Chain A
Amino acid sequence: MAGTAWRSAVSQVVGALKKESLQPRTFTRGIHTVTLIPGDGIGPEISTAVMKIFEVAKAPIQWEERNVTAIQGPGGKWMIPPDAKESMDRNKIGLKGPLKTPIAAGHPSMNLLLRKTFDLYANVRPCASIEGYQTPYTDVNLVTIRENTEGEYSGIEHVIVDGVVQSIKLITEQASQRIAEYAFEYAKNNQRASVTAVHKANIMRMSDGLFLRTCREAAEKHKDVKFNEMYLDTVCLNMVQDPSQFDVLVMPNLYGDILSDLCAGLIGGLGVTPSGNIGANGVAIFESVHGTAPDIAGKDMANPTALLLSAVMMLRHMGLHGHAQKIETACFDVIRDKKALTKDLGGNSKCSEFTDAICQRVRELV
Chain B
Amino acid sequence: TFDRRHNSTHTPPPARYGGRHTVTLIPGDGIGPELAKHVCELFRFCCVPVDFEVVDVDSSMASEDDIDDAIMAIRRNGVALKGNIETNHNLPPSYKSRNNLLRTTLDLYANVMHCQSLPGVRTRHRKIDIMIVRENTEGEYSSLEHENVPGVVECLKIITKTKSLRIADYAFQTARAKGRRLVTAVHKANIMKLGDGLFLECCKEVASGYPEISFESMIVDNTTMQLVSRPQQFDVMVMPNLYGNVVSNVCAGLVGGPGLVPGANYGENYAVFETGTRNTGKSIANSNTANPTAMLLASCLLLDHLKLHDYASMIRRAVLSTLTETKLHTADLGGQGSTSEVLQRVMNAVQSTGPRTLSM
Complex contact B245–A237 (CB within 8 A)? no
Complex contact B250–A237 (CB within 8 A)? yes
**With known contacts A236-B253, A265-B225, A165–B155 Cβ distance under 8 A:** no
**With known contacts A163-B161, A204-B140, A171–B153 Cβ distance under 8 A:** yes
Check: B160 CB closer than 8 A to any chain A CB: yes
Q: Which residues of B contact A254 (CB under 8 A)?
A: 188, 242
Complex contact A265–B228 (CB within 8 A)? yes
> Which residues 241-272 in B have Cβ within 8 Å of A in the complex?
242-243, 245-246, 248-250, 252-254, 257-258
Complex contact A157–B154 (CB within 8 A)? no
Complex contact B221–A206 (CB within 8 A)? no
Closest A-chain residue to B86, C-beta based? A202
Q: Which residues of A contact B253 (CB under 8 A)?
A: 236-241
Check: A224 CB closer than 8 A to any chain B CB: no
| B230 smallest CB distance to A (angstroms) | 10
Complex contact A165–B195 (CB within 8 A)? yes
Check: A203 CB closer than 8 A to any chain B CB: yes
Complex contact B146–A167 (CB within 8 A)? no
Q: Which residues of B contact A174 (CB under 8 A)?
A: 151
Contact string, A316-342, partner B, CB cutoff 8 A, digits 1/0? 000000000000000000000000000
Complex contact B97–A165 (CB within 8 A)? no
| B171 smallest CB distance to A (angstroms) | 19
Q: Which residues of B contact A64 (CB under 8 A)?
A: none
**With known contacts A163-B162, A171-B155, A261–B225 Cβ distance under 8 A:** yes
Number of CB contacts from chain A to chain B under 8 A: 174
Complex contact A203–B220 (CB within 8 A)? no
Check: B345 CB closer than 8 A to any chain A CB: no
Complex contact A136–B225 (CB within 8 A)? no
Complex contact A237–B160 (CB within 8 A)? no
Complex contact A170–B250 (CB within 8 A)? no
| B333 smallest CB distance to A (angstroms) | 10
Complex contact A258–B220 (CB within 8 A)? yes
Q: Which residues of B contact A238 (CB under 8 A)?
A: 253
Complex contact A158–B194 (CB within 8 A)? yes
Check: B193 CB closer than 8 A to any chain A CB: yes
Q: A162 CA to B159 CA in the complex, in Å?
A: 11
Stretch at the interface among B87-95, B176-184, B303-311: B87-95
Q: A169 CA to B248 CA in the complex, in Å?
A: 22
Closest B-chain residue to A259, C-beta based? B224
Q: Which residues of B contact A240 (CB under 8 A)?
A: 227-228, 250, 253-254
Check: B192 CB closer than 8 A to any chain A CB: yes
Report which of B90, B143, B242, B277 forms a contact with A237, defined as CB distance below 8 A: B277
Report which of B153, B155, B229 forms a contact with A269, defined as CB distance below 8 A: B229
Check: A53 CB closer than 8 A to any chain B CB: no
Check: B284 CB closer than 8 A to any chain A CB: no
Q: Which residues of B contact A168 (CB under 8 A)?
A: 154-157
Complex contact A159–B194 (CB within 8 A)? yes
Contact string, A203-238, partner B, CB cutoff 8 A, digits 1/0? 111111110100000000000000000001110111
Check: A21 CB closer than 8 A to any chain B CB: no
8 pairs of A and B residues whose beta carbons are closest in the complex: A265-B225, A163-B161, A173-B151, A240-B253, A261-B221, A136-B124, A201-B89, A157-B194
Other A-B pairs, 4, CB within 8 Å; known A166-B156, A210-B151? A164-B160, A241-B257, A258-B243, A261-B221
Q: What are 24 of the A-B contact pairs (CB < 8 Å)?
A: A153-B191, A157-B192, A158-B194, A162-B161, A164-B158, A165-B159, A167-B157, A168-B156, A169-B156, A170-B152, A172-B152, A172-B153, A199-B89, A203-B100, A207-B155, A209-B90, A232-B246, A233-B249, A233-B278, A237-B257, A257-B221, A258-B243, A260-B221, A265-B224
| Chain B residues within CB distance 8 Å of chain A | 87, 89-93, 97, 100, 124-125, 140-141, 143, 145-147, 150-162, 188, 191-195, 198, 220-222, 224-229, 242-243, 245-246, 248-250, 252-254, 257-258, 277-279
